[in-house]
Amino acid sequence: MGTLLKSAPPSAIFGLVVLVAVALTGIFAPLIAPYGETEVVGGAYQPWSAAHLLGTDNLGRDMLSRMIFGARNTVGLALLTTALAFSFGAMLGMLAALKGGWLDEVMSRMVDVLMAVPALILALMLLAIVGPSIPNMIGVIAVIYVAPVYRLARAAAMNVVDLDFVEAARLRGERTPWLLWREILPNIWSTLIAEFGVRFCFVFLFIAALSFLGIGIQPPTADWGAMVKENATLISFGDITPLIPAAAIALLTVAINLIVDWMLHRASGLKS
């Protein structure tokens, strides 16, 4: 681990530092935050002061505390959603590659339809049906992002299923879960991991955008995207406070992209 970190370029170190800082902030949010997540501590739109480092928001809640809890909510939900999309997408993709036939055909055509429509429009249409709420949003985004993961997992697994050791396991009489879990998954694991970072960025930006539009994470839950929307009025007075959560979103995305770039570079460098 130590040597790995030493070989990392400055850009990746920067990315890792940001990522760890955000993760720690999210995990220890209640300990760090000076006030509660939804606690009203004073008048609306108070300027920055010693008591409220970033001032207060449109309802008189402490901005800094909401930023800290926002790290937990926004990033945590993005992580959960990506993990869901990955478990289902990877499982179905490997299953399609292993079984082939009509199962593969039906699932692949469904994924084609999902991917033919822009994700944001599809999410808006689905959320109109089920109604905006946090569990619904997670479900809808996970369903949408199952599609690209399915495609990747299926393509990667296709290269593995015809190999001799899978054939041998099949002849041994191993069941499908064993084949998926013990024979195929370990061999496409590295491909999936790199993709996880990229997809997490998309999902994270997607949740932020939906919350900004008012149909993602619902108030009073603190969320970076929604915080921009709630306090947008302040911008017309030349106050940069509402831009801080937006900048946090941008910073985290850049950080993850830098780490993924480094990992991809390392993976390709080791192969050649």
Partner 1 sequence: MSQLQKLVIGRMFLGILTLFVVSALMFVGIELLPGDLAQQILGQSATESTLAAFRAELGLDQPPHIRYLDWLGGVLHGDFGTSLASGREVSDLLGIRLANTMFLAAYAAVIAVPVAVVLGLLAALWRNTLFDRGVNLTALSAISMPEFFVGYVLILFLSIKAGVFPTLARIDSATSLWDALYRTFLPALTLILVVVAHMMRMTRAAIINVLASPYIEMARLKGVPQWRIIVSHALPNALAPIVNVVALNLAYLIVGVVVVEVVFSYPGLGQLLVDAVSSRDFPVVQAVGLFFAAVYITLNVLADIISIVSNPRLRHGR
Number of chain positions touching partner 1 (CB under 8 A): 43
Nearer to partner 1, 185 or 198 (CB): 198
Residue in this structure with the two tokens 């599609």, named with its chain if needed: 147
DSSP type of residue 133: -
Beta bridge partners of 61: 40
CB proximity list for 190: less than 8 A, separation 6 or greater? 267
Stretches 67-75, 93-101, 125-133, 179-187: which one binds partner 1 (CB under 8 A)? 125-133
For position 228 contacting partner 1 by CB under 8 A, the verdict is yes
CB proximity list for 228: less than 8 A, separation 6 or greater? 212, 242, 243, 245, 246
Nearer to partner 1, 128 or 155 (CB): 128
Please select the residue that binds partner 1; options are 1, 4, 50, 129, rule is CB under 8 A. 129
For position 132 contacting partner 1 by CB under 8 A, the verdict is yes
For position 130 contacting partner 1 by CB under 8 A, the verdict is yes
Encoded one letter per residue, x for contact with partner 1 by CB under 8 A and - for no contact, window 191-220 reads: ----------x---x--xx--xxxx-----
For position 243 contacting partner 1 by CB under 8 A, the verdict is yes
* Footprint on this chain of partner 1 (rule: CB under 8 A): 112-113, 116-122, 124-132, 201, 205, 208-209, 212-215, 225, 228, 232, 235-238, 240, 242-243, 246-247, 249-250, 253-254, 257
